[in-house]
Amino acid sequence: MIVEEATQSVQETIAVAQTFARLLRRGDIVALYGDLGSGKTQFVKGACKALHAAASVVSPTFVILHRYEGRDSAGKELLIYHVDLYRIQSPNEIYDLGYEEFFGGEGITFVEWADKLGALLPKRRYEVHCAYGEKENDRTIRIELIEE
Ligand SMILES: Nc1ncnc2c1ncn2[C@@H]1O[C@H](COP(=O)(O)OP(=O)(O)OP(=O)(O)O)[C@@H](O)[C@H]1O
Ligand SMILES: [Mg+2]
């Protein structure tokens, strides 16, 4: 599966993410890539909206791990993890965060700056690549399911 969308506003990015989020199931990992300000956090925000997450999603730049309580389509509680690895210096810090919880659990996990996962990158994952377009508010979002 590969989907590529061009968006021209935050609202459009959120809408793309909301549609994508309907595919997500417990245990799924979403690895996000792209430059600073390319829209990764806005994408997570849109996905969380579709998963009925209670907390508002803010950029977790100063807090590496956020947890939100969402609900699946059947209304059952669902934990959502939102990890931002921008500031980590070494993959060891991911162990300290307790990665078993957000990679081995029953929730859905979003990882910004997934490039930093190194060998911890899960073999089955959705990749979301965000990039700048031509105009100020243009972005492209490529979503791909990887099963290694
Ligand atoms: N089409 C668009 N989609 C998403 N964001 C957009 C768009 N156009 C403009 N923006 C702006 O770009 C910024 C995207 O910020 P966001 O925090 O989502 O980026 P990020 O990729 O998470 O960056 P970081 O690497 O710092 O975490 C916001 O300020 C948003 O208002
Ligand atoms: Mg971000």
3-state secondary structure of 11: helix
Q: Give SS3 for 107.
A: coil
The reported pTM is: 0.95
- The count of domains in the chain is 1
pLDDT in tens, 40-80: 999 999 999 999 997 666 766 667 889 999 998 889 999 99
Q: Give the mean pLDDT of the chain.
A: 93
Atom 13 in ligand 1: which residue has the minimum CA distance? 37
> How far does the centroid of ligand 2 lie from the alpha carbon of residue 44, in Å?
9
37 Cβ inside 6 Å of ligand 1? yes
CATH number at residue 110: 3.40.50.300
Q: List own/partner pairs for 49-56 with CB under 8 A and 24 or more apart.
A: 49/14, 49/17, 49/18, 49/21, 50/17, 50/18, 50/19, 50/21, 50/22, 51/21, 51/24, 51/78, 51/80, 51/108, 53/80
Where in the sequence is the domain holding 119, given as residue range(s)? 2-147
CB count within 10 Å of CB 5 equals: 16
Pocket test for ligand 1, best of 42, 63, 83, 84 (most atoms within 8 A of CB): 42
Sign of the C-alpha dihedral computed for residues 68, 70, 82 and 45 taken in this order: negative
In the block, tokens 């990882």 appear at 111
| Ligand 1 pocket check for 18: Cβ under 6 Å | no
Distance of CA 57 from the midpoint of ligand 2 (Å)? 10
Task: Answer yes or no: is the C-beta of 66 below 6 A from any ligand 1 atom.
Answer: no
Which positions of the chain have pLDDT values less than 50?
none
Locate tokens 């390319």: which residue? 38
C-alpha to C-alpha distance for 33 and 38, rounded to whole angstroms: 9
